[in-house]
Structure 1
Amino acid sequence: MTEIRLATNRDGDQISDLIAKVFAEYPGCVFDRAAEFPELDAIADDFAPQGAIWVAENADGQIIGCLGIKLSDDQTVAELHKVYLDKSSRGQGLAQRLLAHARDWLLAQYPACQELVLWTDTRFVAGHHFYRKCGFIETGQTRTLDDLSKSAELAFRAEPAMVLAAA
């Protein structure tokens, strides 16, 4: 059975391994923890106090998924971060469960939040399909990051209460 729980700072190494595995699936995606992911050294602290990150852990204690949310200063906009799922766990509803956990937490803790946004690499096409299926709409905004992967990203948005309504 897969357990979804709040991440702790001790989870940084396993989250790092998960992200590295996902990046390895895509040509040109470079994972360099020290250079671009230093927050993994204290991942729970990075999301506090106006945010949280959850992990999905299998029966063997391995982290096979993660998803985090950070709130804007005025608490009206939340942004998804670190949405990753091990390839062997995809297509089984785990991503929806993680997203539902985060959405329910967001609606309970930050009822004034009006918008849930995310940025996703243009190469993560399966992720784009997942977000659309869960009620997110592509905004048409794009951005290019100054990272090792030379990432181009697309923006998506949704009203928190509408996320997963159609899934």
Structure 2
Amino acid sequence: MTDFLIRPATDADGDAIAALIAAAFAEYEGCVFDRAAEFPELDAIASHFAARGGTIWVAQAAEGVIGSMALAPTRDPDAPAGGQEIFKVYVARAARRRGIARALFDTALAAAHTAGAPEIRLWTDTRFTDAHRFYERCGFTRHGAARECHDLSATWEYLYRRSLAAAATGEG
């Protein structure tokens, strides 16, 4: 039995998603959350991802929005045609280890399969080691060296990728 619902986000969810991000950043020394400077898309978050050809979902529980994850076509120049990318993966600290991130991921994975994506990728802060373990349990592998983001948090990110080609042929 689950005590949450996965639903497409609306633009009105931007403040709740901002609170998730701010709380997650507060867990790491040096992570700075400046909504106006670095997250203006939160002002119309569902519209932002729709304009990119994607969707953002939230996990909704009695206490409000407790998780988020988005999927949109990747803009990485080295990605295969039709590749998708995951964004905005956050789960409230008090709600972790309840299957929320997995439910969000399964929703995004189903959408990627429906879109015929050959691959899903994501970029994740090098400091988010718990997230790295989650992505690896979901079948992602880390690729290449970290890239510098030149943001307020002095972020370096790892690229994680998961091929969907084998799954499309029934092999994965």
TM-score w.r.t. length of structure 1: 0.90
Structure 2 Cα separation of the partners of residues 58 and 159 of structure 1: 31
| Counterpart check, 1:119 vs 2:141 | no
Runs ≥4 residues deviating over 4 A: none
Deviation per CA, 1:16-52, whole angstroms, max 9, x where unpaired? 0110001000100000000100000000011014110
In structure 1, which of residues 15, 18, 36 is the aligned counterpart of residue 20 of structure 2? 18
Give the superposition deviation at 1:146: 1.1
User: 1:1-167 to 2 correspondence within 5 Å?
Assistant: 1-49=3-51, 50-60=53-63, 62-72=64-74, 76-108=82-114, 110-111=115-116, 113-160=117-164
The answer as to whether partners of 1:107 and 1:161 remain within 8 angstroms in 2 is: no
What are structure 1's unaligned runs of at least 5 residues?
Answer: none
The answer as to whether partners of 1:135 and 1:162 remain within 8 angstroms in 2 is: no
Q: Which amino acid aligns with 2:120?
A: L
- Alignment match, 2:170: none
- 2:151 is paired with a residue of what secondary structure? coil
CA distance 1:103–1:162, change in 2 (3 Å): farther
Give the superposition deviation at 1:142: 1.6
Deviation per CA, 1:103-140, whole angstroms, max 9, x where unpaired? 112212x11x1110000000000000000011000012
| Greater Cα offset, 86-95 or 5-14 | 86-95
Structure 2 Cα separation of the partners of residues 33 and 72 of structure 1: 23
The answer as to whether partners of 2:71 and 2:108 remain within 8 angstroms in 1 is: yes
**Identical aligned residues as a percent:** 46
Structure 1 Cα separation of the partners of residues 4 and 54 of structure 2: 23
Structure 1 Cα separation of the partners of residues 94 and 23 of structure 2: 11
CA distance 1:32–1:153, change in 2 (3 Å): same
Give the superposition deviation at 1:161: 6.6
Structure 2 Cα separation of the partners of residues 104 and 8 of structure 1: 20
Give the superposition deviation at 1:155: 0.5
CA RMSD of superposed structures (Å): 1.7
Q: How many residues align?
A: 160
Give the superposition deviation at 1:141: 3.2
The answer as to whether partners of 1:67 and 1:84 remain within 8 angstroms in 2 is: yes
Structure 1 Cα separation of the partners of residues 46 and 82 of structure 2: 21
